[in-house]
Amino acid sequence: MAEQKVKSPQAPERYEDTWLYRIRHSAAHIMAQAVLEMFPEGKVAIGPPIENGFYYDFDLPRTLTPEDLKAIEKRMRQIIAGKHPFKKTVVSAEEARRIFKDQPYKLELIDGLEEGGYDEYGNPLDEKPEISIYQHDTFVDLCRGPHVEHTGQINPSAIKLMNVAGAYWRGDEHNPMLQRIYGTAWETKEQLKEYLHMLEEAKKRDHRKLGKQLQIFTFDEEVGPGLPLWMPNGGILIEELEKLAKEMEYKAGYERVRTPHLTKEDLFLRSGHLPYYAESMYPPMELDDGVRYYIKPMNCPFHHKIFASVPRSYRDLPIRLAEYGTCYRYEKSGELFGLMRVRSMQMNDAHIYCAEEQFEEEFMAVIAMYQEYFDLFGIEKYVMRLSTHHKRGLGKKYVDNERLWLKTEDMVRRAMTNGNVPFVEVPDEAAFYGPKIDVQIWSAIGREFTLATNQVDFAVPERFDLKFINREGKEETPLCIHRAPLSTHERMVGFLIEHYAGAFPVWLAPEQVRIIPITDAHVEYACKLEKQLRAEFVRARADVGAERMNAKIRQAQTFKVPYMLVVGDREVSDGTVSLRRRDGSRQNNMPFGEFMSLVKERIATRSAEL
């Protein structure tokens, strides 16, 4: 597990230091004890705490059933009641091998610990760790802790085993498939209840389910996995997002460019994506006398070429090149997930080329843009993570220039601190060309998403020989900031579907107004209103179908249309509408002109209100 350092007073406490982490880690051990009592010949692999809970991987003689989970959970409560202390002992590799002589997975982990470079979960580690075991009651685990003092400190009514899933040993499909039991643990019963409620709510909001129901996107076997087809409603969401991005970027001094989907191999060799990034790229095509072409996994190198296409002076900088570029990345089919993990994506991409002294201002302008989007979408909880390099990776996963790494990391750190932006620092997770900021956001119901990155690049501009003439009349290499606050359309729309549970604010709603005539006699008026609304670019539709009024209202509700206008005799004669909002509130006899002003105002201000 990567070591995290909190750099800012407002930064969140790191998970490993929390009491919940100890509770969950301890619950994993207790669960393993209960499972081994049930299957004395069972083998244990690893069992770390994770977000919201813990898991443990087992190699067992048979498949676990839901009844087994109940029995294991019951036994866990008994163990908890025993108030068994957790005892740590530092051991030699020899002793550890003796203790775990019947546990082949642990023996493999001990090898990693002894050689150094791996922790007790098999994760890469900097230093050579001491080997320690933790024991409570009859169960001993290879473990560095930390744990609660004794099992009685775990609240027996705040734990729950969730499900069993298959997991390969060390995540490698050539290894044996193990059974992974997931559990959750909290401090109080109420917290557990709240969490389970959040999961229920998340299921209802699942973008894969809602996306289908609201006819936003679809997948097709013949098109291929991970290649979403945007339906008309999805097309509107995307257009609105692009419009938003273009307005924001125009105001912030960006210029828009367009680049091809295909390029010669040479471009990605120069950028360094080949060969290092090759496994995320589609295989090359051979064209014109054996020249190899790739479809692009990212837009950066094209923008660099545009920067380089004309001589630049310090007076021209910063130059901000933006493009909603379509990229293609090869994700393994097992890793594809709805709109969140796809093979084709359109990115809210831009590259800012600036001189070093302009860096802080540019970088903070990008952070401010993120925050403006968060306000607009009502994203209240977010965390920025600054990923830095590690000495060990220099020349391997990181560009080999320690001086520049330290310098740019410090620039970012200073910019964030000066701007009073809370952030957490994570060593050894940078991009290969520079430090980056990852943004984690939480949806309305508290589900976590990683949205966008803001990266500083001090290496690639040099590889591309990018230059500008500085004040002294000398050639200088600019810094490049890669940024994508609205992420990709795929990820953003997936997030927004779940965040709003499909009830989009008026400006974003694919259909903003549905007009419902009470009888056929009112169809003409309904169609007239539709026409007037559309003339003002309000997305309105008169439902002139044969169903009864109530069926039409239900239909509009299914699609979460923000406004319904019901029109009958009175409305026709008065030139009014009866407004029903999506939230159920109503306003009868509203002059149509008044409604028109309302809807136009909501759209123009991108208001969150109905």
**Is residue 479 a contact point for Zn ion (CB under 5 A)?**
no
- Segment interacting with Zn ion (CB under 5 A) among 107-115, 192-200, 295-303, 406-414: 295-303
Minimum distance from residue 542 beta carbon to Zn ion (Å): 45
**Is residue 296 a contact point for Zn ion (CB under 5 A)?**
no
- Segment interacting with Zn ion (CB under 5 A) among 13-21, 245-253, 255-263, 294-302: 294-302
Minimum distance from residue 347 beta carbon to Zn ion (Å): 9
Q: Is the dihedral of CA 305, 306, 309, 313 positive or negative?
A: negative
- Residue 141 or residue 511: which is nearer to Zn ion going by CB? 141
SS (H, E, C) 390-449: CHHHECCCECCCHHHHHHHHHHHHHHHHHCCCCEEEECCCCECCECEEEEEEECCCCCEE
Q: Distance between CA atoms of 388 and 401, rounded to whole angstroms? A: 13
Minimum distance from residue 269 beta carbon to Zn ion (Å): 17
- Residue 143 or residue 192: which is nearer to Zn ion going by CB? 143
Minimum distance from residue 258 beta carbon to Zn ion (Å): 15
Phi, psi of 49, rounded to the nearest 5 degrees: -70, 150
Q: Distance between CA atoms of 154 and 80, rounded to whole angstroms? A: 7
Q: Give, as ranges, the residues between 56 and 75 that touch Zn ion (CB under 5 A).
A: none
Minimum distance from residue 29 beta carbon to Zn ion (Å): 6
**Is residue 459 a contact point for Zn ion (CB under 5 A)?**
no
Question: What is the SS3 assignment for 303?
Answer: helix
| Candidate list 79, 143, 426, 431; residue touching Zn ion; CB under 5 A | 143
**Is residue 300 a contact point for Zn ion (CB under 5 A)?**
yes
With beta carbons less than 8 A apart as the criterion, state whether 515 and 568 touch.
Answer: no
- Residue 300 or residue 421: which is nearer to Zn ion going by CB? 300
Question: Long-range contacts of range 242-249, CB-CB < 8 Å, 24 or more positions apart?
Answer: 242/324, 244/376, 244/486, 244/606, 245/322, 245/324, 245/348, 245/486, 246/322, 248/369, 248/372, 248/373, 249/320, 249/322, 249/350
Q: Distance between CA atoms of 607 and 610, rounded to whole angstroms? A: 8
Distance of CA 516 to the CA centre of its chain: 39
- Residue 233 or residue 259: which is nearer to Zn ion going by CB? 259
Minimum distance from residue 530 beta carbon to Zn ion (Å): 43
Helix residue spans in 276-401 (DSSP H): 300-308, 359-377
- Residue 377 or residue 433: which is nearer to Zn ion going by CB? 433
**Is residue 482 a contact point for Zn ion (CB under 5 A)?**
yes
Q: Give, as ranges, the residues between 512 and 551 that touch Zn ion (CB under 5 A).
A: none
Helix-strand-coil split of the chain, %, nearest 5 = 40, 25, 35
Q: Smallest Cα–Cα separation from 584: which of 557, 609, 566, 605? A: 557
How many chain residues touch Zn ion (CB under 5 A)?
4
Minimum distance from residue 481 beta carbon to Zn ion (Å): 9
- Residue 24 or residue 312: which is nearer to Zn ion going by CB? 24
Minimum distance from residue 76 beta carbon to Zn ion (Å): 15
Binding site for Zn ion (CB under 5 A): 141, 143, 300, 482
